[in-house]
């Protein structure tokens, strides 16, 4: 899967991304928004990469986000995909603070949503955002997601957002 947006290109993750993903996954700044606890080993990340490229087989898909210079700047994930009910979770990361607030996240998310609308494989998207994460809240609302409830995630209040395509 390759998706071209206005500012970004999305491509499936592969094993050549291992070192970069190790840095992202083990960054303490991102630990509160991920499912895992503590440091991930190279083997764990490699296993994740190998099992993140097919919705049909793995129920998850990680796409690497490239900027206009074709540099990898982040990732967008589809996870917990249930193809029978065509539902999934979705999350996004722009890894470096200097790459945020340039429209890359919006372009990546809106490009993926347009592709999913065309394919009709998934029609129900959900995300969970800590209530203090204003940038992510704005991003998902701008892309049509609506608040549908509050949950606790890692001991903090988080809002669940839903988009039905």
**Neighbour-count burial for 122-132, b at 16+ CB within 10 Å, e otherwise:** beebbbbbbee
Length of the chain: 165
Q: What is the mean pLDDT of residues 144-149?
A: 96
Put residue 89 in one of left, alpha, beta given phi > 0 → left and psi -120 to 50 → alpha. beta
pLDDT in tens, 73-84: 999 999 999 999
Is the pLDDT score of 32 beyond 70?
A: no
Strand partners, 74: 65, 94
pLDDT score for 54: 84
Closest by CA to 74, choosing from 5, 162, 128, is 5
Range of the domain at 76: 2-164
Give the pLDDT of residue 127.
Answer: 96
CATH code for the domain in which residue 8 is found: 3.40.630.30
* pLDDT score of 89: 95
- How many folded domains does the chain comprise? 1
């Amino acid at each position: 899967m390759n998706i071209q947006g206005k500012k970004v290109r999305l491509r499936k993750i592969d094993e050549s991304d291992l070192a970069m993903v190790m840095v992202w996954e083990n960054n303490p700044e991102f630990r509160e928004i991920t499912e895992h606890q503590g440091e991930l080993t190279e083997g764990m990340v490699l296993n994740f990469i190998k099992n993140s490229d097919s919705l049909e087989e793995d129920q998850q898909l990680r796409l690497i986000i490239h900027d206009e210079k074709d540099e990898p700047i982040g990732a967008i994930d589809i996870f917990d995909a249930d193809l029978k009910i065509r539902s999934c979770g979705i999350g996004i990361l722009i890894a470096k603070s200097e790459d945020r607030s340039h429209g890359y996240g919006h372009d990546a998310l809106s490009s993926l949503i347009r592709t999913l609308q065309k394919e009709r494989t998934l029609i129900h998207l959900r995300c969970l955002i800590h209530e203090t994460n204003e940038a992510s809240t704005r991003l998902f609302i701008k892309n049509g997601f609506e608040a549908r409830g509050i949950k606790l995630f890692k001991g903090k209040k988080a809002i669940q957002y839903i988009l039905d395509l």
